[in-house]
Amino acid sequence: MLASSLACKAFSNLPNPFKKNMMSEKKSNSNLQSFYDQSYKAGEAEVFTFFENGKHVSEDHPTALSLVDWSGCTVLDVGCGTEMLVREVAARGASRVIGLDYAAPAIEEAQSIPHPDNVEFVTADIMSWTPPCRFDVIVTLGTLEHLDEPARFLARMTEFLAEDGTIIIACPHFLNPRGYVWMALATLLDVPMSLSDLHFIHPWHMKQWATDLGMSAELVTTVDREWAYGQRLLRDYGKRLRNALRDANLPTDKVDAYMEYLDNLVQHLSAEHAGPGMDGATALYRLRRT
C-alpha cells in the first residue's frame, strides 16, 4: 500500500506483461499486492507520479504532520511504503512508531535505511495483523482507495485506536475539475481511475463510515491543487486519459481535443477573475468597447 493521497500512478516503467495481467484480472486488494511488489522493486520514484526528479512532491506528508502534536505518541502508519512519513513522525518526538505495509519490498527498503530505535517496520496485512499496543495516532495516506472494503478497513483501525486517539486519512479528492472529468467517465462509461484505485471516495462516504463507527469525520483541508486544477493535472491526464480509455476499449482519437479544453479550463481557473461568485450555472457577460 502506498504512502500518498494522490494515487496518481504512472505505469510506463512496469513490464508490459505485468500491465496486461493487471488489466485482464478483476481488481482486488489481493491481486494488487503483486502490483505493489513490482512497483517497489522497480523503484517508487520511477513508477509513482507523486515523485518528480526523484523527489516526493505531494503536499500530503507535511500537511498530515501539521495536524497532530506527535510528542510522546504511539503511532501506526498503515501502508507506510518506504518509511518517509514514519521517519518524520519519529523526529517529532513520538514514543513508538510502527510502519506497516503488505509489500515486502517496501518494508525491506525501509528497514535498510537508518532509523531511530523507536521505529519498527512490519510486513503484514492489517486485517490479519495483531498489534502490540493501542495507538494514539493511526495514519494512512493514499491507502483507503485501494482496498476492497474501505469501511471494514476503517473499522479494523478503530480496534487499534486508543480511546482518545486520532486517525489521519488522506485519499484522492474529486470535488474539482480533475474529479468532475473522471466521475463522468467512471459513472457513465465504466472508465477506471487507474489500475490500482478501487474506489472514488467522497466526503459523504467518509462521514457515513465514521458515523457507523461512532466517530466523526472532519474534512480539514485539501492539498495538491496542481493535480486538481493546474499543470500537473494536464500532464497526468495527457497520459491517463489515453491509457484508461484504451483499457476500457473506448476510442482515444478525441483526447487531444479534450485536452485542449482542459488546458483552457486550467488557464481560466488560474486567472484572478475565476473564483467564488464565478461558479454558478448561468453566465452573464457585459461587453464594452476597449
Q: 129, 100 in Cβ contact below 8 A? A: yes
In angstroms, the CA 69 to CA 89 distance is 10
218-276 pLDDT per residue, tens? 999 999 888 898 888 999 899 889 989 998 899 999 999 999 999 998 888 877 665 66
Q: What percent of the chain has pLDDT over 90?
A: 47
- Nearest in space to 212 (alpha carbons), one of 139, 151, 131, 125: 151
Using CA atoms, how far apart are residues 230 and 126, in angstroms rounded to an integer? Answer: 35
What is the pLDDT, as a whole number, of residue 53?
66
33 — pLDDT class (breaks 50, 70, 90): low
| CATH number among 3.90.1150.10, 3.30.1370.160, 3.40.50.150, 3.40.50.720, domain 16-173+199-221 | 3.40.50.150
Give the pLDDT score at 44: 57
Q: What is the mean pLDDT of the chain?
A: 81
Which residue stretches of the chain are H helix? Answer: 16-24, 29-42, 44-47, 60-65, 84-91, 104-112, 150-160, 177-189, 203-212, 225-229, 231-247, 255-270
Lowest mean pLDDT among 32-36, 162-166, 170-174: 32-36
- Burial code (b: 16+ CB inside 10 Å, e: under 16) for 110-127 equals beeeebeeebbbbbeebe
| Residue 177 Rama label (left phi>0; alpha psi -120 to 50; beta) | alpha
The rounded distance, in Å, linking the Cα atoms of 68 and 94 is: 11
Q: Is the predicted pLDDT of residue 126 greater than 50, yes or no?
A: yes
The pLDDT value recorded for residue 52 is 62
